[in-house]
Each structure stands twice: as structure tokens, then as C-alpha cells.
Amino acid sequence: MIFSKWWNYYFNAYVDGIITHDKAVDYKTIINNCFSDLFDSELDCIRPVDVQLCLKSTKQYCVTRQRDAFFLIRRVFTEAVKNGFLSDNPVNCLRCPKKIKKDAEFFNPDHIEHLFEENSRVSRMFEFDLWSGLRRGELLALRWENVDLDNAFIRVCQTLVHTADGDKIVNTTKSRCDRVVPLHAHAVDILRSVKLLDSSDGFVFTLAGMDTPFSLRAYNGAFRRFYDRRVKFYPDIPYLSPHKLRHTYATFLLQSGADIDVVRAILGHSDIATTQRYIHSNYNSMRSAVINLKFSY
């Protein structure tokens, strides 16, 4: 079997309709752009050097993109082995591009104060995102039936995802696990102010005059316009994507003394390694550690 035929089998069996539409499109792009030289090759004739030459073409991309290409092609060949089309995976003896560890970016207290001086519908939506740490799709899929203001918690059990047919609500989360998120008193106040202006029982954050949630694209556009308005008054506010509101929430939870496993559960991470990237080392904390060093009991 030639590689292109196996790739089509693999895509239809393990990708299409299984993962998100955007990620499926991304996989196609990676294979077409980086591994087209393998298309006419018989699977059992592909050698590690052939794959390495294809991977070399990914050097023009960032390290994250290089690693995505590596892991994708390894999975494609792994399933070929499992299905009996290949005896050995030629990628197993290749080295994965080294991951560059970067601290998560986040807004500092001054940025937060200046961003949310504005009192508007979108400002309240983004400020609640900051104070709840929800993923974008979870925030937009949040319904009033899953909000308990009296007991200060929300139930996260749905998410808005992009598909080939447009955005749709799915009854699960990215980690495939529902969770209950306790709310800070300020987050509750934000929701109460939203409720005063919206008597509907549907989605918490909706387009003006409609009972439909923001689309994923509309959410991103609204944040950009919100940021542009605020930066006119405070030019020092950096532009960070709206997902960095979630990073900020996680960062300050940890800096406030929360246990990392508790933060993992609140954020809905399935792997604590994902949460650990929000632990930021800085010069002041390192200096304090050195000053307090004692070689005694």
C-alpha cells in the first residue's frame, strides 16, 4: 500500500469526525505541506532517512509546529504497524524536536485594573472569563441553568466547538469530564449584573438582542475591539490573546497559595504538567530564596 492511500484510510478512521474540525484541517495541511514526497512510496519501502528529510522541511516553522508534525507522522505509521501494513515504524528511531519551555503569558494587576474600568456587556464577559478561568468554548456555552449564584458555583458540562458545518454546542468539555467550578464573590457580582440586564434563561453571554451565544470568531473579534478601546487610554497594556485571561487566572491562583492539583481540577486539565507551566519563576522570588538560605536545622 502506498503512503497516500494509507493516509486517506488513517484520516477517515482516526481523524475525520473524531477530533475538532480545525485540528483535522491542520493535520491535512501538515501532511500535504511536509510529507508529500512520501505519497507515492510503498509503506514498507519508507526508511527513517526518508521521513527525516521530510521533517527537515519543517525547520521553517516554530518548534511547536515541528513537534506537531513529528508526533502526527509517528501516529500515522504506528497505526499502519498495528493494522499490519508495516512491520516497523520508521519514525521510532528519529529524534523529536526539543521542546522549548516558555512561561505562560499573563496580565499583571495594573493591566487588569485598566482593562476593566470599562463597563459594557463585552467587558463583563471578559472580566468573568478572567475571574473563572474558563476556556473560550466553555464560557460561550455556559447557560443559566448551570449557574448557582446563591451557592457561588457553576457547572461546566458543555463547550462551543468549530465544525465543518459551523460552531455547535457539544455536551462535553475538552478534557471529556464535567466539573464544578467555585466562584469568587467578584465573579458572582459580575453574573448578577449580567442577569439584571438579561432576563432570559438561556446562554449567559449572548449577542445583543438575541438568545444565541457569541461565535468563536465573534468572541475573538469582540476582544480585539475591546482591547483597542482600552489601549487608547492605557498604551502600556500589551496585546495578549483572550486565552491569556485563563492564564492570568491560573497564575494568580497559584501565587495566592492554591495547591497545584486544586488548580488543575478547577481548570479542567487532565494532565498536571499542563498546569505546571503557570508556575512562574522570577528574580525577586529567587533572590528571596537565596537570602533565606540557612545551613542549619
Spatial contact of 167 and 161, defined as CB atoms under 8 Å apart: yes
Q: How far apart are CA 220 and CA 136, in angstroms?
A: 9
Question: pLDDT band for position 288 (50/70/90)?
Answer: low
Regarding predicted confidence, which is higher, 184 or 275?
184
Q: What is the mean pLDDT of residues 152-172?
A: 88
Bridge pairing between strands 147-148 and 166-170: unpaired
Sorted by where each begins, the domain ranges of the chain are 3-82, 109-276
Phi-psi region of 174 (alpha: psi -120 to 50; beta: other; left: phi over 0): alpha
Note the pLDDT of residue 285. Answer: 60
CATH number among 1.10.20.10, 3.40.50.720, 3.40.50.2300, 1.10.443.10, domain 109-276: 1.10.443.10
Neighbours of 257 (CB within 10 A): 6
Give 51's contacts (C-beta < 8 A, 6+ positions apart).
35, 38, 73, 77, 90, 91, 94
Spatial contact of 57 and 66, defined as CB atoms under 8 Å apart: no
Residue 243 half-sphere exposure, CB side, CA atoms within 13 Å? 5
Between the alpha carbon of residue 105 and those of residues 226, 245, 250, 271, 279, the distances in Å are 19, 9, 11, 19, 11
Q: How far apart are CA 254 and CA 275, in angstroms?
A: 10
Q: What is the pLDDT of residues 44-102, one digit of tens each?
A: 999 999 999 999 999 999 898 999 999 999 999 999 999 999 999 999 999 999 877 76
The full DSSP string for 23-60 is HHHHHHHHHHHHSGGGTTSBGGG--HHHHHHHHHGGGG
Q: Coil, helix or strand for 153?
A: strand
In DSSP terms, 297 is beta-bridged to none
In DSSP terms, 143 is beta-bridged to 203
pTM of the model: 0.74
CATH 2.40.10 describes domain 3-82: no
All three cell numbers of 217: 470568531
DSSP letter at 68?
H
- Mean of the per-residue pLDDT values of the chain: 89
Question: pLDDT band for position 200 (50/70/90)?
Answer: confident
